[in-house]
Structure 1
Amino acid sequence: MHVSYRRTACSLAALALAMGMAAAPAFAQDAATGASAAAPQDDIVVTGSRIRRSPLDQDKPVVTVGQEEIARTGLTAIADVLQRLPSAAGGLNTKVNNAGNVGGPPDGTGVSSGSAEVDLRYLAAKRTLILVDGLRFVNGSAAGGIPASVDLNTLPVNLIERVEVLQSGASPLYGSDAVAGVINIITKQAQEGLRASAQYGMYRQGDGDTQQYEASYGIQSRETGTSLVFGASYVKQGSVSTGDRAISRFPNPGQTACTDPIGGCSGTPPNGRFAVLGQTLALRAPVSGRPSYPADFKPFTAADRYNFAPLNYLLTPSERYGGFVNFKQALTDSINMRVKLLYNHRYSRTQAAYLPLNIGPDAGNGNLLDTISVDVTNPYNPFGVTLSSGADGSAANYSFIARRMVEAGQRVFTQNVDTMSGTVTFDGAFDVGGRKWYWDVNGTFGINDAKQLFTGNLNAARLAQALGPVSACTGACVPFNLFGGLGSITPAMLDYVAFDERDRSSQRMWDTTANLSGTLFDLPAGPVGVAIGYEHRDQFASYDPDPVITAGLGADVPTSPARGGFDVDEIYGELRVPILANTPFFNKLELDGAVRHSNYSSFGSNTTFTASGLWKPVADLLLRGGYAESLRAPSIGELYAGLSRFDATIDDPCTSAAGGSFASNATVRANCIANGVPANGSYNEPTGGQLGVFSQGNTALKPETAKTWTAGGVYSPDWAKAWSSAFSLEVNYYNIKLDNAIDSVPATLTLRRCAFNADPVSCAAIRRTSSGTIAGISGRLLNLNGIRTDGLDGTLTFRTHKIGEGTIGLNANAAYLLRYDVVPPADLGAPALRYAGTERGSPDQAYPRFKGNATLDWSSPGYGIAFTARYISGVDERDDVHRLGAVFYGDFQAYFSPAWMNHRTRLTLGVNNLFDRAPPACFTCQSANFDPTTYDLPGQFGYLRLSFGF
């Protein structure tokens, strides 16, 4: 839908003051009862309703983030800006080095390396609907699967006029995915002349340098009814290495050596680890040619483990460029044609340490690597016998051989992603019986194509041939040396077994909508408004791994191809009824309701309903409340994703090592033996290791459903106008009940239910080798859990009248999380997982009770300064041992705009994380010992920006 938008009513923080206010950046908002005095007050369409209304009478909580607020952050991606909202839970961003490190996520939606998402209410990005000018946008991908959310890195900042964040369920108005809320990105519809900016910044350590160049130009002609805005942008972000920050140089916080008791270093070192002939051995030193057994070997110890931590990214490098066109032409006095075109290209890179090659029956790859035997005739086999995996029916005489492939170079994943979107809209108005009706018809097409190149992988079939009988290693085959240690693998050996993995993915969306709105008749309190509409949407997606990976022959994380799609037809209707107005205790009383019926090709029909109301007992005070039913249809990835492995850091209770229950609990011992663990207690894998969880889509999935209750109020007193140009205070409460949440049974729960309860379903989901080692845990997607969450948001907005040349403003936002519980089905017999006040880890996500932000600024035409405070309360790790303390960040910005250039040129200087606050160390996080979805990178970030024409 294309409509006239403007800044709407707000949402979030009086709470901040009530709780002592310590905060994150503040975002200016127009309070529902107190928009800027200069703002127009005519009826328009605002996010959260299809019916035109006064923005001062918004019956749903909406936060608005404008151009000034975006510029004040110094950030170059809109996702990073929105992730600072207290109601946002973070999400995937360029601080997440997610590629070959841990594999595909257990929700089946793939690895979106280099992408950026926003997650409202901790409900995951796939439950937040992203709109662009009220219309859907194509989902993103990065050649790692089929994600269920939009990649916000495809939207350049200079395209954006403002962002409106509806913090309530809205499926009856906008359809699927609007469970946690809606983010509506409003693009520039009109502009006069040139606007341009250039920004450069870096961390104090001299890395992570970022360049941003933007330009747009606008033309308007009242005579011809033509409006044109076009622009281009370029952003280049440098990297920050884990080896360049103290917090991330080892696998655990505070660790200084692999021999530290805390462990964590890899058991796959460059010199090898050999679990052969009943022993676990290490090479004493690298050997040229074939080592001598037993002289060149010794028992494997912690000193032989490998520190992989300093070879990853804390900040992933990327490069984005693209352009946009927004065109409007009046065809008649009452009909307009609008065209919006967008193109964006992203190059990004993630990386991991050198490939950890593991072969043998206990390697746990789930492919050919687990069945490889090393023939006695291999010229580098020092043991004098064939090392048999047992795959041919013979007795296995080795468990695994592990070798870090340093000679092959680091695993590097580079993504090239192209996104194109086009929208054509016809809109207008007509009169019927003296009443004006508004209509629009829209067609949208979106494409997201991604290609990924992965270097540093090996072909398992070729490796098996190179390790097999030397007589079979003919032609280009070169016998492979797995035993000589670092430097023993020659370029000729690598040329035969190594390959460049090339993966690709694609998403397509076709969306057609039609809307009609107007008023039916007048009641004493005002006109009855109505809106009706229709939408048809087709979505298709595919993921095609490299043919070597599809054949199951890769040496890194395995994935499978997937493709599929669905179409949906929807109709909706909305009704607004003014009941009372301008009477004692009822300055205004109004009810609003909407209903949408959807028919999906993937699962069938569904109907959702919402009702809300507002009551203004006096003109200064607005009270509101609402109920909304929401729907999230299973995504294409959740329906059709092939088998993919996620390496989860979890404990196996069946181990005899410290932390396991095999030796101390007779019931566990009996159940584990029944599940395939040797009765002699020889299975003693350390706890806290990575175990493979294999997820897979499920075409039998049903939609998730949610019920949301909201209540709140906005106080914007008339008496404050004597000493302020804007003053409003808002508090909102939300309660969300989500059912049929699509998820897989947590692997930790599967392991415990098998070990402690002998649950046959759980035990069947665990695949063990003859030694007891876990070869894989099944985690197929199901309509599984319920989620229960509620909390409070608050907003304070204040700006003085002019003092001298400028004004002083304070914007404060806060969110308090009362509850976030994940409730498993009753038949699992598991307690609810209570996340509020904790750090989840694996995958990383903190659930702080309180998050707040506040910005205090002095602004004038010639100069200005601003200080933004950001606060995140402390959380407990779920290991019941460690805690992440509260964090306070401070950001500073100042600008100068000379009068001799008519204040059209501005020089801005800023420092984020002014006090150089390090993120709290996290022992259970899978990233670089801190949670990148919640906290800043270590270090101060300074930037300088020159802008023109704002």
Structure 2
Amino acid sequence: MKKSTLLHRISVSVGTLSYLSLCIAGAAFAQEPVNEDETVERIQVTGSNIRGANMEGAQPLTVLTSDDIARTGASTISELMRTVTQARGGVGTFDTTQSGATSTSTPPGQAAASLRGIGPSSTLTLVNGRRIAASSFAAGTENFVDINSIPASAVERVEILATGASAIYGADAVAGVINYILKDDYEGLELSTNYENTTNSNDHGALNFQMLWGKNFENSNLTAFVDYYDRKAIRAADFSQTREPILQSSYSYLAKGQPNIYFNSARDGNEMPAPNCADELTITEFGEEICAYYANEDDYFETPLETLSGGFTYTYQGDNLTWRTDLLASHTKSTSFSTPAPINQVDDEEGAWIGVDALDVLDETTRNSILDNLYVDPFDTVAGRELEGFQYDARFSSPRTVEIETDAIRLVTSVLGYFGDWEWEAGALYSRSESEQVATQGIYNRYLYTAAAHGELCDNGNIAQYNSDDDSLSCAGSNLLSAYNPFLVGDTQNDAILGLTQARPTRDGTSEVFGVDAKINGEIAQFNGNAVLLAAGVEFRREEITDMPSLDSQARAENDFLVDVFGFGSSASAADRNQMGIFTEVFVPVSDKFDISLAGRFDDYNDFGSTFNPKVGFTYRPLDNLVLRGSWSTAFRAPSLTQAGVQLRTTRASFDCSVNSAVADLYCEGQGTVRGNNVLELGNPALRAEESETYSFGFAYSPTDNTHITVDYWTFDHEDIVDTNMTGVLNEAITDASLRHCGVLDEGEIGISYLEDLCLVTDSQGNTIEADGANLTEILDAWVAFDDPRFAELPLFRDHILLLDNTGTQELEGIDWNVTHDINMSRGTLELGLSGTHYLTYDRNRPGSDQIESLAGTFLYPETVATAELFYVEEDWYVGAYVFYTGSYDDDIIRLRGREIDELIDIGAITEENQERDVSSWTTVTLSAGYYFDNADIRLTVDNLFDRDAPTAYGSGRGFDAYNHDPFGTRYTLAFSYYFQ
């Protein structure tokens, strides 16, 4: 990060003060041990290593207690984080709604929390103040902590600091830190259960069993917990809002069940519909009638999820020593689904080939009608034969389905003691997350399937050998099967042949963290009669991660980067990292009203060099009930281990023609649409760490003992964000011939892959697209004249090879507020609250362009999210409600295809003159009530009490924004707990 001279001086000052403080601390250790009668508990809060200072109101800290968690009715941490305004908005926070079987989806059964929408890898997740291993399966290339592995029932409170915290905790705390503090020091036995479901007629039930047990021994306590959670699937087809496609024009030509006939095989150049389409035919923008596919048919909003977790906390309190050990372990099982895979040619081009005799299963009239409009052409088979047939458009019938099991364990032991007036602490951490995934349905080997469709598959699952001398096929000890026929539906023998082509690719990953740390706390001096406090320490951490898919789901150079299976990518990565950090923090009470805190941390990485991150904060108390506060800090995030260790990732990447007119003219017919293509991502040794600079200013005001108000302004300047940038590569390729390739790229090459036939045409100077100085506009014109394609675009092929890169910057600023007021009544208390976040700015450069886009108020990024609450509480019961508000924002109309925009005009959603619309604001009410008996309590929570539909969002293929809204309607949770004393 480029620092100004002033900022550099601040950094040097903090570093110098840290050094002097450590010297003073060394002298302090020469003092006598403290008298145990003088030992006082010193409280430490998230965001500071200082213990014992008056930090009340000093930081914009959000705290959720166990009572808060119970009132929300949340059974999982991901459900809880949906109620936190700093984690709402944008696409950083995700849950299993975004999971799927492909590499573009989030990992099955897993969830992550992100502050400010910056991304989960920029939010540091802690448990009891120390780290936890990230999931071995990344979301894209972002590593994250799976919060589904932390049981909500074991959490005593959650502390959230939504500002940069790298000066305290080191890497990843760019947007802040979320600290989950587990229950401890418990005595007794608590058994709890809860059941949640929607009011929909389908069964969407989830069942949760919990046990908490604790016992005090002489000088010690053991607290243990067990949590079991089992949730059923929720499908788009279960709800009237999502049962039908949001737009009829959002169709796919790739039919499920029976194939359409590819337009290149039709004499009139129009796609021909599947002969026995199960649904009404759809008319395309070209006037064709096709059997269309819509993704909502196979969409899952919640996938099956089963978790079993447990752990314990053991605390021993000696005369002058505290030993604490905590263990957290979990086992998670989940299944995720993606749309059925497309059926392509062996080389992944559109329009798979089939022999003309496949039509013989149709009735004579239908068969002859198709033949009358059909080109019958020769094609080559996998075994090396030449057959005659035609091309078809189709996808498999079964959704791509994967099952995943994850085992996670985290063990921490620490010792805290005193030497003189100084407190010291040392700890060790081991954390591991291990996942195993297997594809169980809907994944097919491209070679075996193609061979089966051409009658070249043996009953042992091998491809037959072809003898050209006598034009025969042989199976070497097994029998040749009849050809699989995609036009023959519901035939047992035919389906059995297809079953032989199914593949079960696997994926295994392991993520491990080992760390040791030591720190000291104490008074180093007196200033104006007040104690100047110091915390300082060191930390060593080693992290390792591997993510290895089976060979049949890897793209390999020896196979022209073709994955063996259709429509199923993978990520192969392996990396390890050593990190050492030295940190210090000083709390200086300048006066009774004014405090300064200074912190600095130096981190050294074996693979990304070193960095120093300072933080300066102040608190000013002009009145006893008013605190003014502010801070400045820098933060950083070294490229995640997955980003650093990507060997080859098979995925899909989008390029955005709305941000670059030159790219739009060449690849999008001048339209501002977003297109997706198969790409291969590679790690980049030149990646730089992401860096950020953060300011925050605010106040905490308590006009009465029962009224508390906090308001904070915050800003982030986030640089060198790591991502892939296909739009930028396409733009660079206009002038850089080294990025332009006809056909599959060779190993070691980087850039864009075009159809091989594109090199048959040239510009006016005789240059092919691979030549230096080629005029791509002229080549596009020549291609259109040569091939007469359906779309006047440069034809992209597959498997463009892109490097991860530092793609740009983003700047955010906003305001958080929280107001609480209690009204004491004769028998109980009326509690009122209002909290929220308003984004003033969310600017970033658009990949592939120097243009700055303002995200605040645009698609997926509401400017305002807020929560109001009203509760009446008595000693043995409570009742109340939360009101959750998500502001309106722009729909993503500009990126839709022309046919979709035409439909929106036809239905009146937009006009020809004004093609903009808003996604409506969304307000839902959650009812919460509970009653406490002597040894039990019962609680009821009803989400979306008034059954509000999610606002329509045409920019999402689902018809709603799954990050900021949900389509579930009313959901209820009934919970019961019993206490054994």
TM band (smaller chain): 0.7 to 0.9
* Aligned-partner Cα distance in 1 for 2:253–2:525: 73
Query: Which amino acid letter does the alignment assign opposite residue 126 of structure 2?
Result: L
Question: Aligned pair in 2 of structure 1 residues 634, 480: CA closer, same or farther (>3 Å)?
Answer: farther
Structure 1 residue corresponding to 2:260, chosen from 273, 282, 285: 273
Structure 1 residue corresponding to 2:311, chosen from 305, 321, 324: 324
Question: Aligned pair in 2 of structure 1 residues 866, 404: CA closer, same or farther (>3 Å)?
Answer: same
**Deviation of the 1:613 alpha carbon:** 0.7
Give the structure 2 partner of residue 88 of structure 1.
Answer: 87
Give the structure 2 partner of residue 237 of structure 1.
Answer: 231
Matched-pair identity in %:
23
Give the structure 2 partner of residue 411 of structure 1.
Answer: 400
How many aligned residue pairs are there? Answer: 822
* Aligned-partner Cα distance in 2 for 1:604–1:400: 55
Question: 8 Å contact 1:140–1:147 — kept in the other structure?
Answer: no
Give the structure 1 partner of residue 101 of structure 2.
Answer: 100
Question: 8 Å contact 1:286–1:487 — kept in the other structure?
Answer: no
* Aligned-partner Cα distance in 1 for 2:892–2:843: 14
Question: 8 Å contact 2:77–2:148 — kept in the other structure?
Answer: yes
Give the structure 2 partner of residue 937 of structure 1.
Answer: 967
Does residue 736 of structure 1 match 2:739? no
Q: TM-score of the superposition, structure 1-length normalised?
A: 0.80
Question: Aligned pair in 2 of structure 1 residues 392, 707: CA closer, same or farther (>3 Å)?
Answer: farther
Question: 8 Å contact 2:47–2:168 — kept in the other structure?
Answer: yes
Give the structure 2 partner of residue 305 of structure 1.
Answer: 292
**Deviation of the 1:67 alpha carbon:** 0.6
Structure 2 residue corresponding to 1:860, chosen from 867, 870, 874: 874
Q: TM-score of the superposition, structure 2-length normalised?
A: 0.78
Question: 8 Å contact 1:115–1:142 — kept in the other structure?
Answer: no
Structure 2 residue corresponding to 1:919, chosen from 944, 950, 957: 950
**Deviation of the 1:359 alpha carbon:** 1.8
Give the structure 1 partner of residue 222 of structure 2.
Answer: 228
**Deviation of the 1:483 alpha carbon:** 4.8
Does residue 603 of structure 1 match 2:626? no
Does residue 946 of structure 1 match 2:950? no
Question: Aligned pair in 2 of structure 1 residues 194, 266: CA closer, same or farther (>3 Å)?
Answer: farther
Question: Aligned pair in 2 of structure 1 residues 705, 143: CA closer, same or farther (>3 Å)?
Answer: closer
Give the structure 1 partner of residue 686 of structure 2.
Answer: 700
Question: Aligned pair in 2 of structure 1 residues 447, 283: CA closer, same or farther (>3 Å)?
Answer: same
1:12-44 Cα offsets, whole Å, 9 max, x none, are: xxxxxxxxxxxxxxxxxxxxxxxxxxxxx9751
Does residue 210 of structure 1 match 2:206? yes
Counterparts of 1:388-403 in structure 2, within 5 Å, are 388=380, 401-403=392-394
Question: 8 Å contact 1:649–1:691 — kept in the other structure?
Answer: yes
Question: 8 Å contact 1:234–1:319 — kept in the other structure?
Answer: yes
* Aligned-partner Cα distance in 2 for 1:143–1:500: 21
Does residue 814 of structure 1 match 2:836? yes
Structure 2 residue corresponding to 1:890, chosen from 917, 920, 925: 925
Counterparts of 1:443-592 in structure 2, within 5 Å, are 443-454=428-439, 455-467=441-453, 470=456, 471-472=472-473, 474=475, 475=478, 478-487=481-490, 490-550=494-554, 552-581=563-592, 588-592=593-597
Query: Which amino acid letter does the alignment assign opposite residue 353 of structure 1?
Result: T
Does residue 354 of structure 1 match 2:340? yes
Question: 8 Å contact 1:335–1:428 — kept in the other structure?
Answer: yes
Question: Aligned pair in 2 of structure 1 residues 738, 472: CA closer, same or farther (>3 Å)?
Answer: farther
* Aligned-partner Cα distance in 2 for 1:248–1:82: 25
* Aligned-partner Cα distance in 2 for 1:478–1:390: 15
**Deviation of the 1:647 alpha carbon:** 3.8
**Deviation of the 1:280 alpha carbon:** 5.2
Give the structure 2 partner of residue 629 of structure 1.
Answer: 634
Does residue 795 of structure 1 match 2:798? no
Runs of at least 5 residues in structure 2 that lack an aligned partner in the other structure? 1-39, 278-285, 362-370, 457-471, 557-562, 742-750, 758-788, 895-915
**Deviation of the 1:126 alpha carbon:** 0.8
* Aligned-partner Cα distance in 2 for 1:301–1:851: 45
Question: 8 Å contact 1:112–1:141 — kept in the other structure?
Answer: no
Question: Aligned pair in 2 of structure 1 residues 925, 617: CA closer, same or farther (>3 Å)?
Answer: same
DSSP 3-state at the match of 1:96: helix
Does residue 441 of structure 1 match 2:435? no
**Deviation of the 1:143 alpha carbon:** 8.6
DSSP 3-state at the match of 2:452: helix
Question: 8 Å contact 2:271–2:289 — kept in the other structure?
Answer: no
Does residue 716 of structure 1 match 2:702? yes
* Aligned-partner Cα distance in 1 for 2:171–2:390: 49
Which has the greater radius of gyration?
A: 2
Question: Aligned pair in 2 of structure 1 residues 946, 390: CA closer, same or farther (>3 Å)?
Answer: closer
Question: 8 Å contact 1:344–1:420 — kept in the other structure?
Answer: yes
DSSP 3-state at the match of 1:504: strand
DSSP 3-state at the match of 1:115: coil
**Deviation of the 1:113 alpha carbon:** 1.8
Question: Aligned pair in 2 of structure 1 residues 858, 924: CA closer, same or farther (>3 Å)?
Answer: same
Query: Which amino acid letter does the alignment assign opposite residue 956 of structure 2?
Result: C
Structure 1 residue corresponding to 2:418, chosen from 407, 420, 429: 429
Structure 2 residue corresponding to 1:643, chosen from 648, 658, 663: 648
Q: Which moved more, 1:878-887 or 1:938-947?
A: 878-887
**Structure with greater helix share of residues:** 2
Query: Which amino acid letter does the alignment assign opposite residue 736 of structure 1?
Result: F
Question: Aligned pair in 2 of structure 1 residues 155, 205: CA closer, same or farther (>3 Å)?
Answer: same
1:174-199 Cα offsets, whole Å, 9 max, x none, are: 01000101001111121121122111
* Aligned-partner Cα distance in 1 for 2:381–2:801: 23
Question: Aligned pair in 2 of structure 1 residues 242, 604: CA closer, same or farther (>3 Å)?
Answer: same
Structure 1 residue corresponding to 2:804, chosen from 776, 781, 800: 781
Question: 8 Å contact 1:375–1:469 — kept in the other structure?
Answer: no
Counterparts of 1:869-884 in structure 2, within 5 Å, are 869-880=883-894, 881-884=916-919
* Aligned-partner Cα distance in 1 for 2:565–2:650: 12
By relative contact order (CA 8 Å, sep 6+), the higher-ranking structure is: 1
DSSP 3-state at the match of 1:915: coil
Question: Aligned pair in 2 of structure 1 residues 325, 481: CA closer, same or farther (>3 Å)?
Answer: same
Q: Which moved more, 1:455-464 or 1:352-361?
A: 352-361
Question: Aligned pair in 2 of structure 1 residues 524, 684: CA closer, same or farther (>3 Å)?
Answer: closer
**Deviation of the 1:758 alpha carbon:** 5.7
**Deviation of the 1:62 alpha carbon:** 0.5
Give the structure 1 partner of residue 865 of structure 2.
Answer: 851
Does residue 836 of structure 1 match 2:867? no
* Aligned-partner Cα distance in 2 for 1:696–1:61: 39
* Aligned-partner Cα distance in 1 for 2:169–2:50: 13
**Deviation of the 1:51 alpha carbon:** 0.7
**Deviation of the 1:234 alpha carbon:** 0.7
Does residue 907 of structure 1 match 2:907? no
Question: Aligned pair in 2 of structure 1 residues 698, 889: CA closer, same or farther (>3 Å)?
Answer: same
Query: Which amino acid letter does the alignment assign opposite residue 890 of structure 1?
Result: V
Question: Aligned pair in 2 of structure 1 residues 144, 589: CA closer, same or farther (>3 Å)?
Answer: closer
Does residue 132 of structure 1 match 2:154? no
Question: Aligned pair in 2 of structure 1 residues 477, 871: CA closer, same or farther (>3 Å)?
Answer: farther
Question: 8 Å contact 1:608–1:629 — kept in the other structure?
Answer: yes
Runs of at least 5 residues in structure 1 that lack an aligned partner in the other structure? 1-40, 106-110, 288-298, 365-369, 582-587, 654-659, 678-682, 840-845
Question: Aligned pair in 2 of structure 1 residues 380, 227: CA closer, same or farther (>3 Å)?
Answer: farther
**Deviation of the 1:636 alpha carbon:** 1.0
**Deviation of the 1:760 alpha carbon:** 5.5
Question: Aligned pair in 2 of structure 1 residues 70, 55: CA closer, same or farther (>3 Å)?
Answer: farther
* Aligned-partner Cα distance in 1 for 2:97–2:414: 37
